[in-house]
Amino acid sequence: MTRSALSFPAGFLWGAATAAYQIEGAAREGGRGESIWDVFCRVPGAVADAQNGGVACDHYHRTAEDIALMKDLNLAAYRFSISWARCMPDGVTPNPEGIAFYSRLVDQLLDAGITPWVTLYHWDLPQALEDKGGWASRETAERFAAYAALMHEALGDRVRIWTTLNEPWVSAFLGYAAGIHAPGRREPAAALAAVHHLLLGHGLAVRELRRRDPEATLGITLNLTVADPADPDREGDVDAARRVDGQSNRLFLDPIFRGEYPADVLADVAHLGMADVVRPGDLDVISAPVDVLGVNYYHGDAFTTDPEPRPAQPASPLVAADGVRQVPRGLPVTGMGWEVQPEGLRRLLNRLQREYTGPAGIPIYITENGAAFEDVPDAAGFVDDQARLAFFDEHLRALHASLADGVDVRGYFAWSLLDNFEWAFGYHQRFGLVRVDYDTQRRIPKASGLWYSRVAASNALTAMDESA
C-alpha cells in the first residue's frame, strides 16, 4: 500500500518540545531551588533505577549546541518549559541568575530564527510550595500567577506565546492520587483539590499576562484522550468510557471553555469534597478566554467495568476505584505500552473543534505527540527508528484528515527533541528525534529526526510505500 504525498497549509508551524526537568540538568547550579521531582527521585523505588534529572541532557550547558541542532532539523518553533524553582527557588523569591538563563535561551532562539513557545509549568513545583500543601492548597495558584508575572517581566518583550500549564491531569491525578509522579501522594481528595487549584492558577496567570500584554498569545496544554467502551453494547462499558472521558477530558475542558465543571463528574466524585474548594468567582477566572488550545495526544483506550479476568489493567486511580479497567485491543503498542491509535487523533480533534474550540473561535496546536521505542544504535550511534518515523507519519496523516474535515489546527510539536528523563521510567524510555548518548552527551539525529526535518522544510509528507 502506498500512502500519498500531503501538503500542509501555508504557515503551519513545525516544532519540537522538551521540558525543563527532563533535559536541563544543572539541578544544583545557578541558585536553583529543589523541585518536587528532585525530592521524589530520592524516594526509594519511586523512579526506575533511582535515576533523576540532576544531569539529564545537560542542556543547561549546551543550549548553543541544542539550538544549532534545532536549526539543522528545520524547526520553526521550540516549545520548552521554565523551571519555576530555577527562577524562584522557594517559589516566591526571584533568582536573577536563573531568570537570566531563560533570557539568554530566548535570545539565542530568536537569533536562530526559531520561535520560543514557553510553558510556565511542566510538573516541577518548587518543593518549598509543596511543603505548604502544594497544588492541594489554594495559595499555590496565587503563587503561580506571581511567577507568571515575573517571567513575563523578564521575557515578555521577546516571548509572544505563553502556555500556562502542561497536562494538569498528570500533575493532579498521577502526582496526588496515584502517587507515581511527584509529589507521590495517594490522596484522592487532594488530587481533586489540585485539579481546581491548577485550573485556578491557569486562570489567574492568564488574567495577569493579559493585563500586562493584551497582544500575547495565551493558552494551556491538556493531555486529552479518546475513551471508548470495550463493548459498546454493554451498559457498564459505556459508563466506564463516560467516566474516563469525564475525568481526563471534560473535567479540564468544560471549566476552561464553559465556565463549569461537568455535572456527571462532580456527581461521581461528590464524596471527595471537590465542591468545597471551589469559591464563588473561581470559574469566571478559569474560563477567561484563551487564544490557543495545546493538545498532547499519545493514545486512546477502551474501558470496561466487567470484573471477569481478561487481559485488563486498572485505569487511572479515581475511575479504577469505581471498577473501571482498561482493555487492550490488540493494537501495536509503543515502549510505554501505549496503543498506537492515530485515528483517535482525528476523532479527538474533530470533537474538540465541534464542542470547544470551534465555538470559542480558537485554533488548536498539537503541542506533543510521539513515541518511545527501544532504539538500537549502530556502531556510529545512528538509530534507524522506522517504527517511530511511521508513528509520526501516521499521526500527521490523521491530523491532515482533520484539517480536511475543517478543523483549525495550526501547528505540530514532536515529542521530543531529545531523548530525555522520562519521569518515573528514568532514562529507559526514549522519545527523541535525536539520540542522546547519556555517557558522552553526544547528540545524533535519528532516522525519524532526519525525516521530520524534511517534513518541516517542505511543509509536506512525502508518499510512503509501506511494502518497501
Please state the closest distance from residue 145 (CB atom) to ligand IFM, in A: 23
**Site membership for ligand IFM, residue 237 (CB under 6 A):** no
Choose which of 296, 304, 353, 453 interacts with ligand IFM (CB under 6 A).
296
Interacting positions 364-403 with ligand IFM (CB under 6 A): 368
**Site membership for ligand IFM, residue 117 (CB under 6 A):** no
Nearest to ligand IFM of 272, 349 (CB atom): 349
Cell 518549559: give the residue. 81
Choose which of 53, 422, 455, 464 interacts with ligand IFM (CB under 6 A).
422
**Site membership for ligand IFM, residue 164 (CB under 6 A):** no
**Site membership for ligand IFM, residue 37 (CB under 6 A):** no
**Site membership for ligand IFM, residue 419 (CB under 6 A):** no
**Site membership for ligand IFM, residue 24 (CB under 6 A):** no
- Assign 3-state DSSP to the chain and report helix, strand, coil percentages, each to 5: 45, 20, 40
For 89, the grid coordinates are: 527557588
Which residues does 104 contact at the CB level (< 8 Å), separation at least 6?
Answer: 63
What amino acid occupies position 46?
A: A
Which residues does 14 contact at the CB level (< 8 Å), separation at least 6?
Answer: 74, 75, 76, 77, 411, 412, 452, 455, 456, 459
Concerning whether 167 is annotated as a catalytic residue, the answer is yes
**Site membership for ligand IFM, residue 19 (CB under 6 A):** yes
Residues 212, 160: Cα–Cα separation, whole Å: 12
**Site membership for ligand IFM, residue 357 (CB under 6 A):** no
Concerning whether 65 is annotated as a catalytic residue, the answer is no
- Beta strand extents in 113-216 (DSSP E only): 115-121, 161-166
**Site membership for ligand IFM, residue 301 (CB under 6 A):** no
Roughly how many angstroms between the first and final C-alpha of the chain, as a whole number?
Answer: 9
Nearest to ligand IFM of 431, 451 (CB atom): 431
Of the candidates 167, 208, 339, 422, the residue annotated as catalytic is 167
Of the candidates 24, 34, 208, 368, the residue annotated as catalytic is 368
448: cis peptide before it, omega within 30°? no
**Site membership for ligand IFM, residue 52 (CB under 6 A):** no
What are the DSSP calls for 192-215, one per residue? HHHHHHHHHHHHHHHHHHHHH-TT
Residues with active-site annotation: 167, 368
Residues that bind ligand IFM (CB under 6 A): 19, 22, 167, 296, 368, 415, 422, 431
